[in-house]
């Protein structure tokens, strides 16, 4: 990732602070929910009672550090078997698209997500973690879905 991207990310943290990145729920659940850029959807799902049925609810803004964090979390918490990918896609970064492409195609020799149209889809996690993600996780693609009832039907 380039230094300009890092600088912009740090500026965004100050100018546009975001309250919660994720909530931990039922650690025995096999389900994770990723709300992409829909930050308020995290609280809506929590308030709707989803945390009793899912292991974690979080957001995903970036096609690199954010995906690295998801892959690492799943690799360390091997009870998770399904990700519900919902909420509004991240304009410009297309992090949801990149997560789907990673799941389908993996990375090249430079750890670039194959077939990603994101600007900086380079990962730093291990090949083992990526392969685990590809082989053991099912993704329910609800990108751009923000309706709580429709999302809850997939839990």
Q: How many domains does the chain have?
A: 1
91 or 84: which carries more pLDDT confidence? 84
Number of helical H runs and strand E runs in the chain: 6, 5
Write out pLDDT tens, residues 44-81. 999 999 999 999 999 999 999 999 999 999 999 999 99
Rg (CA), the chain: 15
- Using 50, 70 and 90 to split pLDDT, how confident is the model at 21? confident
Instruction: List the CATH number of the domain containing 138.
Output: 3.40.50
- 106 within domain boundaries: yes
Model confidence at 24: pLDDT above 80: yes
Both tokens of 4, joined, read 């300009």
- 11 within domain boundaries: no
For the chain, the average pLDDT equals 89
Model confidence at 18: pLDDT above 50: no
Provide the 3-class DSSP secondary structure of residue 107: strand
- 27 within domain boundaries: yes
| Chain length of the chain | 155
- Using 50, 70 and 90 to split pLDDT, how confident is the model at 17? very low
- 6 within domain boundaries: no
Both tokens of 145, joined, read 């879905």
Q: What is the pTM of this model?
A: 0.86
Both tokens of 140, joined, read 């329910």
119 or 15: which carries more pLDDT confidence? 119
- 8 within domain boundaries: no
- 61 within domain boundaries: yes
- 85 within domain boundaries: yes
Residue 109: domain span? 20-152
CB 23 within 8 A of CB 128: no
């Amino acid at each position: 990732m380039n230094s300009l991207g890092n600088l912009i990310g740090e500026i965004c943290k100050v100018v546009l602070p975001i309250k919660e990145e994720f909530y931990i729920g039922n650690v025995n659940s096999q389900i994770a929910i990723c709300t992409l850029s829909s930050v308020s959807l995290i609280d809506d799902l929590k308030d709707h009672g989803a945390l009793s049925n899912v292991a974690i609810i979080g957001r995903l803004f970036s096609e690199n550090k954010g995906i690295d964090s998801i892959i690492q979390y799943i690799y360390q918490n091997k009870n998770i078997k399904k990700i519900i990918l919902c909420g509004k896609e991240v304009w410009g970064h297309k992090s949801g698209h990149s997560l789907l492409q990673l799941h389908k195609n993996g990375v090249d020799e430079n750890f670039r997500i194959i077939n990603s149209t994101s600007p900086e889809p380079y990962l730093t996690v291990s090949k083992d973690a990526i392969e685990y993600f590809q082989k053991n996780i099912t993704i329910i693609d609800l990108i751009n879905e923000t309706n709580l009832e429709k999302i809850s039907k997939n839990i």
